[in-house]
Amino acid sequence: MKQQRSARARGRSLAMFALGLLGGRWLARFDTDGAGDVPGRHSRRIVHHASEAIIAADETSRIVLANPAAADMFGVTLAQMQGSLLGRFILAPGATASQSLAYSDAGARPLEYFHADGRAGRRSSDYAGTGLRANGERFAIEGSIADTQHSGRTVYTIILRDVSERQRVQRKLARSHDQLRQLSSALQTIREEERTHIARELHDDLGQLLASLRMDLTLLREECVNGKGMNAGRLIDGMDGNLLTAITSLRRIATNLRPRALDEGGLYFALQGLREDFVQRHGIACELLADEAELRLDDQASTAIFRIVQEALTNIARHAHASRVTMNLYRTNGELLITIRDDGRGIREADMEKATSLGLVGMRERVWALQGEISIGADEPPGTRIDIVLPIAHHTV
């Protein structure tokens, strides 16, 4: 990597030298096409075939030379660049896109086109700027600038790089890292909330029931000791009801932690239970289209798919305002295809990019953990559609 950077730096320095030589000769009106001008022809070939955009400008910011890579970057021809002001292609300091040329006429020098945006690289000659394409599009650029003196005139050599794609990727990575930090923080909060919820349920439900059972046992013992036994039947019936309630509460708590159907019946029956609970709680019609035999997967895949579908249904219940949901799961060519559709208000692109959309982030992370792919978008007619592809060749049982 260091060797590549060193080679690139040497090539850039050579190109700057060559373009400075050519620009100086142009300003001095030397005949660069002469048969005896071997250094000039060699320099011209270096600049012409360089992969990076290279421009030479005089002290008035007028372009004296440019290479094909520069013309391609700005969407113009070499003839259109020759003799034009830099302000036609690089946003002048303090100017808007429509004002750039006027600002250029006001006397901005080549270095000023970059100094306003500040340093961009590790070298003192690397600066940031804003490029202007022929169609009016603005894009981020970095420029390396060097000046050459020739016959008392200064020629500025500028090597430009389009960094708009790099900045877009950096912004996307930063947003992704922010979402992961938010998700990590939310998971910690959810974990503590779950612990608090479980502790409260154990105390309020099971704790009170067990305390009541102990009181009933004490009363029953006294009835037996005194030989009366008149209320024994009533006490036993009450104890039986309390025990039944305690068992129901225990099963509910255990199911909330992990559905028993996943361990006892497999993914298909767990999804059926999830569907039935969704319909009962929210009154939204929900249809599951799947074959039990195709959903016989190992614990890792079954748990991940269950949680993905669970999160999708939770999001629908909270945000979609839907009246109907369809879940379709089927296998083909060693992959499990999952489609979840609703007829709600639909999801906007901005909603999916929110750092607070932790449910969507969690779904993506579970899918990616299984080396799968997920796409989420608005469906037609209005609604949301989630498509997931999971490779399951190594997860079947």
- Rounded CA separation 342/338 (Å): 14
207 & 304 share domain: no
Residues whose CB is less than 8 angstroms from the CB of residue 222 and which lie 6 or more positions away in sequence, other chains included: none
97 & 168 share domain: no
185 & 241 share domain: yes
- Rounded CA separation 77/79 (Å): 5
- Rounded CA separation 17/40 (Å): 11
100 & 17 share domain: yes
Distances (CA, A) of 336 to 152, 304, 311, 391: 73, 13, 18, 6
19 & 91 share domain: yes
Per-residue pLDDT of the chain (397 residues; tens, 9 = 90+): 445 545 555 555 545 544 554 555 544 443 444 444 555 565 677 777 788 888 888 888 888 888 999 999 999 998 899 888 888 888 876 655 455 544 444 456 766 766 545 555 545 556 788 888 989 889 988 888 888 877 778 888 888 889 888 888 888 888 877 777 777 767 767 776 776 677 677 667 777 777 777 777 777 777 776 666 667 767 777 777 777 787 777 777 777 777 778 888 899 999 999 999 999 999 999 999 999 999 999 988 998 899 999 999 999 998 889 999 999 999 999 999 999 999 988 887 766 666 556 678 788 888 988 899 999 887 666 789 999 999 998 888 8
- Rounded CA separation 238/119 (Å): 80
168 & 198 share domain: yes
Answer whether 111's CB lies under 8 Å from 170's CB: no
Helix (H, G, I), strand (E, B) or coil at 162: strand
Domain boundary among the residues 102, 133, 162 is at 162
116 & 168 share domain: no
Task: Tell me whether strands 373-378 and 335-342 are parallel, antiparallel or unpaired.
Answer: unpaired
Domain boundary among the residues 162, 185, 207 is at 162
Domain boundary among the residues 224, 257, 290 is at 257
73 & 25 share domain: yes
* Terminal CA-CA length for the chain: 45
For residue 102, the model assigns a pLDDT of 46
Q: What is the DSSP letter of 121?
A: S
The enclosing domain of 10 has a CATH number of 3.30.450.20
Per the document, the length of the chain is 397
158 & 171 share domain: no
- Rounded CA separation 138/62 (Å): 20
- Rounded CA separation 265/273 (Å): 11
- Rounded CA separation 343/310 (Å): 18
Split into its structural domains, the chain has a count of: 3
129 bridge partner residues: 141
The enclosing domain of 332 has a CATH number of 3.30.565.10
For residue 280, the model assigns a pLDDT of 93
Answer whether 377's CB lies under 8 Å from 353's CB: no
Whole domain around residue 185: which residue ranges? 163-257
109 & 236 share domain: no
Answer whether 361's CB lies under 8 Å from 183's CB: yes
Helices (H) and strands (E) in the chain — how many of each?
14, 10
- Rounded CA separation 129/100 (Å): 13
- Rounded CA separation 175/149 (Å): 46
100 & 172 share domain: no
For residue 354, the model assigns a pLDDT of 62
Q: How many CB atoms lie within 10 A of CB 42?
A: 11
386: enclosing H helix or E strand: strand 384-391
136 & 203 share domain: no
Q: How many CB atoms lie within 10 A of CB 24?
A: 21
Is the pTM value of this prediction over 0.75? no
